[in-house]
Amino acid sequence: MKTNKLFFYISLMIFTCLGCESFIEEDPRDIIAPENFFANDSDARQGITGIYSVIKNNSIYGQAGLDNWYDNGVDIIEPNRTHPIFAVMGNYTLNEVTADASNQKMSVSDTWQNLYRVILNANVIIDRVDGNAAISDAVQANVVANARFLRALAYWHITNLWGDAPFYTEVLTLEEISKLGRTGKDIILASVLDDLEFAQNNLPPSVLNDQRGRASKWAAVMIEAKIHMQAKRWQDGLDKCLEIINESPHTLLSTYADVFDPTNEYNSEIIWSLDFARDVTGQFEPAFPGAAFAGNNYWRPSLFNPRIRDEPANAADKDPLIAALKANGQEFNGTGLQIASKDFANKFPANDLRRPLNIMDSYAGFPLNHTYLPKFMNLNFETSPRFNHGDNRIVFRLADVHLMAAECENERPGGNPNDAFEYIRKIRERAYATQGEAEAIDGLSQTDFREAIYDERKWELAAEATRRLDLIRWGIYLDVVRNAEFKTYTPNLNIKDNHVLLPIPLNEIQLNPNLLTSDPTNNGYR
């Protein structure tokens, strides 16, 4: 009964968390009675709107959910104080109990449950829309393609974070779902690739203005390329990257700063971003007890914005700093929780033009206590007040694809590191003032170019939810963390071999003991 109540709650709540994409014109509906729900095109479109709203939840892309599991505790981001939301990864105190942390709305448990909310409801939508005579062929194709893309996205994240996991693509009863054990990661990813192929064949190559926030076919191509790279299928990965580079409408911008300009959020380099809007209340559940202020509006930029009570380094500079901020129409109005690690700040090349967008240790000449990551900040107190931001969440962008193509070319049989460099030439040219600096990694051996790519991805994609997966994929995750320097936490002392995966939360195991059948160690946490 307890398990059934849990999954009933998941189904019941699927569409109560409204997103704020521009394409939302009608309220997404509950699917408690799916046989009565999809009666026309509008119903089907509302169903997809509801699933997009779930991936914008606190525990996935909305606040810091995936940031926790993909960036915290590595060598780029470091919380500036021991906040319970970030401590489990920032300091590797993660275990079955802390993974549950039912009082934290960005816990491992919350991410797990919301990813499976996406899957459960995608399965229902696919089943009820595909072949439904009441829905036009064009809407059927688009809705099913979006549902299969979102299901693939969810399972991709699940395999990244937990490896083997419960897997189903049919409409199962609640009792059947509650008894599922773990399926092998490779089996899941084979189904993910099938979903991605369908999405590529049926999602549009570009998204209209009134559909912003939806994924185009290129987002599906990108995930497929990443899966091939994880499996070291280098030629397949390169082929998919080249599809995006040569056939998509996306182009690299001339400067790094332009990519993150909040006044140009739909620039040509962004392959997929999620829309958020200022002053849209009721989007999210509170992130943690007492955080009602954070439960109403989008507040991820506030994680990166400094907190004025923490700054500046010299007490005598306080009033002059506030005056300087005011003169620029800005405030240090955030939580300052996500800062650059000591290791990242110390190693970021001084001559790299990307550094000012990733390292901020002073403001208007006033030294700061902490070193911040400014590319995700929005300090404008009128257009972006505290915990009420309208900044989009970048999910995928073209620079990542160029870096992926370079790596695939360097690693594939018969590949050439000189050819690989050409895929990232433009990225290097916008990152350095002179041609000589940009070409400093041209002409390297395969081994040396591989190590150059390690750094290039670090500088270009800092805090964009790629670092931990990259390090795991390269087989250097544990070594990098253990040898890094940190200011506040000690992840380098606490990290263990099994931290390459997350534990299944204790509450999930108590509800479904079959989750331990294939692995009684729960990814090494028992």
86-96: per-residue pLDDT in tens?
A: 888 889 999 99
Rounded-to-integer distance, Cα 285 and Cα 303, Å: 17
Counting residues of the chain whose pLDDT is more than 70, the rounded percentage is: 88
- Rounded to whole angstroms, what are the CA distances from 47 to 32, 39, 188, 212, 284? 12, 11, 24, 16, 18
CA dihedral 355, 356, 358, 363 (to 10 degrees): 140
Residue with tokens 């395969």: 446
CATH assignment, 2-203+501-516: 1.25.40.390
What's the sign of the alpha-carbon dihedral 107, 108, 114, 120?
negative
If one counts every other C-beta atom within 10 angstroms of the C-beta of residue 514, the result is 14
Rounded-to-integer distance, Cα 171 and Cα 307, Å: 47
φ/ψ (deg, to 5) at 397: -140, 165
Can you tell me the mean pLDDT for 110-130?
95
Q: Is residue 285 pLDDT above 70, yes or no?
A: no
CA dihedral 78, 84, 87, 88 (to 10 degrees): -140
225-267: per-residue pLDDT in tens?
A: 999 999 999 999 999 999 999 999 999 999 999 999 988 999 9
pLDDT of residue 7: 38
Measure the CA angle with vertex 498, ends 494 and 501; round to 5°: 110
174-199: per-residue pLDDT in tens?
A: 889 999 999 999 999 999 999 999 99
* DSSP letter (8 states) at residue 513: G
Model pTM score: 0.91
In the chain, where the domains are located: 2-203+501-516, 301-391
Can you tell me the mean pLDDT for 366-373?
96
H or E segment and range at residue 456: helix 446-460
Please give the full DSSP string across 172-192, using - where no structure is assigned: --HHHHTT--PBPHHHHHHHH
309-340: per-residue pLDDT in tens?
A: 999 999 999 999 999 999 999 999 998 888 99
| Contact indicator for 124, 147 with CB cutoff of 8 Å | no
Which residues is 212 bridged to in the sheet?
214
496-517: per-residue pLDDT in tens?
A: 999 999 999 999 999 999 999 9
- Report the range out of 54-58, 174-178, 427-431 with the highest average pLDDT: 427-431
Q: Is residue 289 pLDDT above 50, yes or no?
A: no
- Within the chain, how many helices (H) and strands (E) appear? 24, 6
φ/ψ (deg, to 5) at 373: -105, 95
If one counts every other C-beta atom within 10 angstroms of the C-beta of residue 60, the result is 23
Rounded-to-integer distance, Cα 283 and Cα 56, Å: 9
φ/ψ (deg, to 5) at 227: -65, -45
pLDDT of residue 20: 36
Please tell me whether residue 376 adopts helix, strand or coil conformation: helix
Q: Is residue 385 pLDDT above 90, yes or no?
A: no
- Rounded to whole angstroms, what are the CA distances from 129 to 39, 41, 77, 155, 362? 9, 9, 42, 21, 54
| Contact indicator for 139, 325 with CB cutoff of 8 Å | no
| Contact indicator for 274, 21 with CB cutoff of 8 Å | yes
